[in-house]
Every structure is written in C-alpha cells, then in structure tokens.
Amino acid sequence: MNAIIKQPSATLVPFKARLDAITDPARKAALGALHRSGLPDRRVEAWKYTSLRFLNETQLVAPSEEFDAAQARAELDRLGLTAGEGADLPRLVFVNGRYAPDLSVPPQNVGLSFFGKTEAFGTLSSPDRDALTALNAALATDGAEITVAAGVDAGRVLLVSLGLADEPVSFHPRHSVTVEEGARLSLICVQGGQGRYLHNPVMELSVAANATLNHVTIQTESDDAACLATLYAQIEERGSYDSFVLGLGAALSRHEVHARLNAPHAEVHVNGAQRLLGRQVGDVTSVITHAAPDCRSRQTVRNVLDGQSRGVFQGKVLVERIAQKTDGYQMNQALLLSEQAEIDAKPELEIYADDVKCSHGATVGALDDEQMFYLRSRGVPEAEARQILIHAFLAEALALIPDAMAQTLAAHIMEIRFPVTGEE
C-alpha cells in the first residue's frame, strides 16, 4: 500500500480499512489495479483539470444499512418523485448505495435483479484502465440489473440514488442496463442527498440492434458531496443511445461516458448542461469510439458558471480505420456570470479513417447587456432578469432531452435549486 499512499493529490487512505479487508478474487483483481495506479491526480492527462483533493480531506467509512426512512421520503417528495412530476413512474430507489424496497415501485415490464445478490461484474467496464471503476469494483455492495426483452417497449423507469450521511461515507453502486433487439427504454436517473459523502457509481449499458435507450441523469447531490460517475455504453447496428446529464449539485462532480459504436448505422448522443456556483467543480468527460462505418455521434454541453465555480468539458471522438462515413459533432458553450468563474474545454478528434465528417467548437460569453436592458426597461428586477436569461440559455440545452417527461422533471428539479424569481 505504501506506493499508493505516496500519490500526492489523491490517495486511497480514506478507503484503506475497507480495501485491506477484501478477500473475494474478483474484488482483489480490482484492488490490484488500484495498487498499480492509485487514484488519478492532475498529472494524469484525463484528470488535468479536475482534482480529487476532496477525497483527502476526511476518512470515508462504509455507510450503515439503516437510514432515516422519513428523511428519505421527504427528499423524494422534495424532488417531485412521489408527489409531483415523477409520482406515477415506476422507481428503483437506492439509499447510500443500497436498494430500498420500501421506497421503490418496481417496474413490471423489465427483467430485474440486483448486483448485491448476483455479485456479477459486467464486461464493458475497464478497472485496469479506470481507477475509479476499479475502486467501485472493489467496494460495490448493490446495484440494479435491468433487462428489456426483445421487442418490448418498457416505457419509463426512475433510478433514484439518495445519499443521507450523518458522517462522511462513500458508496459505490454497480448498475447495468441491457436493451435487447428492437426494444425501447427511457431511463431517468435522479441523484440527490444530504450530508458529506462520495457517490461513485458505475453503469454498463448495452443497446442491441434496432434498440433504443433514452437515458437522462439529473444530478442534484448535496453541496458537501462528491459524485464521480462512470458509464460504459455499447451500441449495435441501428441502435440508438441518447443520453443527457444535468449537473446542478455536489462540491465535486464528474460524469464520464465511454461509448462505443460497434456496428453500422449506430447512433449516440452524449449531451448535457451544468449550472454551478460558489466553488463547485463540474466535469463532463466523454470518449466516443466509432468502431464501425456509417455511424453518427452528437455532443452538445452547455455550462452556466457563477462565483468561483469551474466547469470542465473533455470530449474525445475516436474514429477507427474501419469507420468510414463517420459523422461526429461536438459543441461546448459556456456562460460566465463572474470574473472568477472558469471553463476548461478540451475537445479532441483522433481520426484514422479518410472519409469522415467530424467537427467541434466552443463558445464562451457573458449575459447579453442588450437583453438585460430590455428586461430592466420593462420593470423586471435585475436578479429576476438574470435568472430569466440564464434559464433561457439552459432551456435550449434541456430541449435536447428526447423524453418529454424527463425534460419536464429536469426543468422542475432545476427550478427547485435555482428559482426563476429571486437571488440564487
């Protein structure tokens, strides 16, 4: 362990007691990867703009299996998941990384099992390459395994994660979703909580031929939390994976997507928006691999940054030699509301085919003075005018959410955290 502890910017010290107790062979293999690499610091290119110093500041223990059910229900109510926008949807609720059946309404038209009972790791993730995935593999205790049978339209399913911490804890759920040939699913993930904790989920997503998976993540974690999510997706012939992440909460967040287009005419969208303030750091990172011809990828991410917050966008499109007729597009746009706010953007194209259409772009700006003047001249108070313009900027991003219900829920939760009227 000494080689790991010497990592200067992010160490395994907060997890040492739990890691030392591992005996399961699969988990020990993941632990071996951690021994070799340690957690990434800013000398690692993919983590150049995002520091894991948050993890050094306190010991993170395993959460108790017990939790305050009334507090959890109140959080679900506040988010509109039991008495509002999402009240009628089937839902799977995890509290501190463990399935909470008393809070859940399981879907009837999907196959459902749980990682905590099967102890089965998927094949898409890369613990040897990705340290946080290795940490998840070493410490995972539960997670949903959802399967939509061929030809079935499973409708919408809510996957909810709540962190409720009386002391600093970490939890590492392990989810997987399989949408078989010709099937459809709209998966809406909502992440919230209270207290200081690390939420380190890994999700594997398999989209078969002619299948569709619409996937929305609404991240509104505790202001004292870190959320470091890693997703792996593979899409087969004429399959579609359309994803969106809305980042609102957490002191430190990272949403990292590895998507692979395996067969012709597959399509992937990795869109998102972040609204940050104070000293929040929000990172959206993607690696989209075109491994077959005639595939299409799209990525648009919008950021609104206030105070001393910092947004990070890293988007890589890798086009393999076989992937002729690739159509790839990336755009990152940032609205800076403060002179201390910062956006770090690193779009990247790595192309080995010679018949492709790939492009990327970035814009950075402030609120439009003329638009502010127009609203102020019509009696709108300055704070409210700012909020109206910000919401309009983000509304264009939310319009990319393919599911209307998910779009409404995302706007509702953003309104809870950032009301249109009044100060932030």
pLDDT at res. 11 = 66
How do beta strands 226-235 and 197-199 pair? Answer: parallel
Closest by CA position to 424, among listed 377, 382, 387 = 387
Q: What is the pLDDT of residues 266-285, one digit of tens each?
A: 999 999 999 999 999 999 99
What residues contact 171, with CB distance under 8 A and at least 6 apart?
A: 62, 63, 96, 97, 98, 141, 163, 197, 198, 199, 200
Which of 149-158, 163-172, 256-265, 379-388 comes out lowest in average pLDDT? 379-388
Return mean pLDDT, the chain: 91
pLDDT at res. 3 = 37
Closest by CA position to 100, among listed 139, 155, 158, 147 = 158
Closest by CA position to 67, among listed 136, 162, 141, 159 = 162
What residues contact 275, with CB distance under 8 A and at least 6 apart?
A: 247, 248, 303, 304, 390, 394, 414, 417, 418
Instruction: Examine the pLDDT at 223 and tell me if it is beyond 70.
Output: yes
Tokens of 189: 């993930």
pTM, two decimals, is 0.94
Instruction: Examine the pLDDT at 157 and tell me if it is beyond 80.
Output: yes
pLDDT at res. 117 = 60
Contact 360, 327 (CB under 8 A): no
Q: What is the pLDDT of residues 375-411, one digit of tens each?
A: 888 888 888 888 889 989 999 999 999 999 999 999 9
Q: What is the pLDDT of residues 96-139, one digit of tens each?
A: 999 999 999 999 999 999 986 656 677 888 888 899 999 999 99
